Amino acid sequence: MSRLVVVSNRIADPRKSAAGGLAVAVGQALETTGGLWFGWSGKIREDGTPGEGELHTSQAGKVQLATVDLCREDYDSYYLNHSNGVLWPVFHYRLDLADFSTNDLSGYRRVNKLFAHKLKALLKPDDIIWVHDYHLIPLAAELRAMGCQQRMGFFLHIPLPPPLIMAAIPQHDWLMRSLFAYDLVGFQSQADVTHFRHYAETELKGSYGPDDIVEASGAQVRAKAFPIGIDVDEFQTLAKGKDALEMYDQMQKTYGQRKLLVGVERLDYSKGLRHRLYAFRQLLESYPENRGATTLVQIASPSRESVEAYDLLRQRLESLTGSINGDFGELDWTPVRYIHRSVARKRLPGLYRSGSVGLVTPLRDGMNLVAKEYVVAQNEKDPGVLVLSRFAGAAEQLDEALQVNPYDTAQMAETIQRALQMGLPERLERHSALMQRMKAQDVHWWSQTYLADLNASR
């Protein structure tokens, strides 16, 4: 049987729990099959040379881990400036937040070449290689240029925007053409696949046909949606664990009879946190019965703090939270509890379960695993209601959530009110339909379907 080789920017010991959608999902896929996980070590060498880095290998159960250090210049240009300063905002439709001034494409290319060079030395002829996410789009093209013939697949965890937005990225055509070096390109949603096909048609003068084949400049690739899921069994087991139960009890004690709205994410501008706070303020204004009776608990863990846009967002959120609490708060009621920290994974289900409403309202999101975790953590006899942005990839699958447009503050406030008021029969019906889909398309289904397709892709 072929060995599975996974490549992603950050890697983690699959036996330990990790925060971050990609690490959790990929770790679970690799733990099942065994194989090699290759990526950046997380170490920055201040005195290193651009395009060079030491390789480290270790064994974690069935999985071999291989990592490369980056020098400061490579880290800044590849990771901070190009991946997170240009690709992340543009792929999330935020041209206003992209910083094109650094022009660090050469650093991005250099690190992809470095990874390809180091990885090639570890490869066996019949390996199957699965590359993840926007940091590593050109990796297969670099490997092919070095003569690698293995089967290679790519999965994009974030959304793919329409062609005219992509076109803002310097040398976007080079970037998108490099996807054709893979045998299979996977996206989170059908909308992303459509954007890829349109890009090939309009920008590369290509075409698409049967069997998910997209063609451009004489090259072909298969492009399909594989919506990522969570490990439902694992999360249900966590929900029954001591830590989750403790967390739930603690929330009950602290908030008494008040209804809770719960939001959990990395502090990122794609997650729509400001818009959520606007809607909560509107809820308190339009439906005053919620004053003193409803609390928003918002956990936003620190993320990419050395990227300027994230620092600004943090300041704005703190000031918005302060103004809502100042305008509406009482001596015995704080409307918004905003916590700028992460919560241990074992405790998370208890937090989700304490929320009568789960607020997952990104402005744009590849999938959004928090939405799925919230549903799975609920008490199936008395479940909470998921309020979900129509701009999360998960919206294509999760029809039974209450879907909102996060830009429409009044509509979001009205929908939150509807969720707070929803009777048990409707909550049960929606929850059971969501659970069925979640179980059928969990993380194991995701990786198995993807890998079976990749195996069949030549």
Q: Which helix (H) or strand (E) holds 255?
A: helix 242-255
> Is 30 a residue that touches ligand ADQ (CB under 6 A)?
no
Q: Are 27 and 230 in contact (CB under 8 A)?
A: no
Nearest approach in angstroms of CB 182 to ligand ADQ is 17
> Is 449 a residue that touches ligand ADQ (CB under 6 A)?
no
CA-CA distance, 97 to 432, in Å (whole number)? 39
Q: Could you tell me which stretch among 21-29, 200-208, 241-249, 445-453 binds ligand ADQ (CB under 6 A)? A: 21-29
> Which lies closer to ligand ADQ via its Cβ, residue 6 or residue 148?
6
Catalytic residue among 92, 157, 195, 431: 157
For 301-370, the DSSP string reads E---TTSHHHHHHHHHHHHHHHHHHHHH-BTTB-SEEEE-S---TTTHHHHHHH-SEEEE--SSBS--HH
Among 365, 374, 403, 447, binds ligand ADQ (CB under 6 A): 365
> Is 189 a residue that touches ligand ADQ (CB under 6 A)?
no
Q: Is 188 helix (H, G, I), strand (E, B) or coil?
A: coil
> Is 301 a residue that touches ligand ADQ (CB under 6 A)?
yes
Question: What is the C-alpha end-to-end distance of the chain, expressed in Å?
Answer: 17
Q: Which residues lie across from 330 on neighbouring strands?
A: 333
> Is 368 a residue that touches ligand ADQ (CB under 6 A)?
yes
Q: Which helix (H) or strand (E) holds 67?
A: strand 63-71
212 is catalytic: no
Among 160, 363, 369, 401, binds ligand ADQ (CB under 6 A): 369
Q: Are 69 and 48 in contact (CB under 8 A)?
A: yes
Catalytic residue among 135, 365, 431, 442: 365
Residue number of the CB atom closest to ligand ADQ: 21
327 is catalytic: no
> Which lies closer to ligand ADQ via its Cβ, residue 152 or residue 158?
158
Nearest approach in angstroms of CB 263 to ligand ADQ is 9
Burial (CB count within 10 angstroms: exposed 0-12, middle 13-18, buried 19+), residue 415 = buried
CA-CA distance, 340 to 317, in Å (whole number)? 10
Nearest approach in angstroms of CB 257 to ligand ADQ is 26
CA-CA distance, 152 to 139, in Å (whole number)? 10
Among 110, 113, 197, 266, binds ligand ADQ (CB under 6 A): 266
> Is 343 a residue that touches ligand ADQ (CB under 6 A)?
yes
> Is 24 a residue that touches ligand ADQ (CB under 6 A)?
yes
> Is 416 a residue that touches ligand ADQ (CB under 6 A)?
no
Q: Which residues lie across from 185 on neighbouring strands?
A: 154, 223
If you search the block for the tokens 């001596």, which residue do you land on?
A: 331
Q: Which helix (H) or strand (E) holds 22?
A: helix 21-33
Nearest approach in angstroms of CB 218 to ligand ADQ is 31
> Which lies closer to ligand ADQ via its Cβ, residue 75 or residue 91?
91
Among 22, 71, 309, 377, binds ligand ADQ (CB under 6 A): 22
Interface positions with ligand ADQ (CB under 6 A): 19-22, 24-25, 157-158, 228, 264-266, 299, 301, 342-343, 348, 365-370, 373
Which residues belong to the active site? Answer: 157, 365
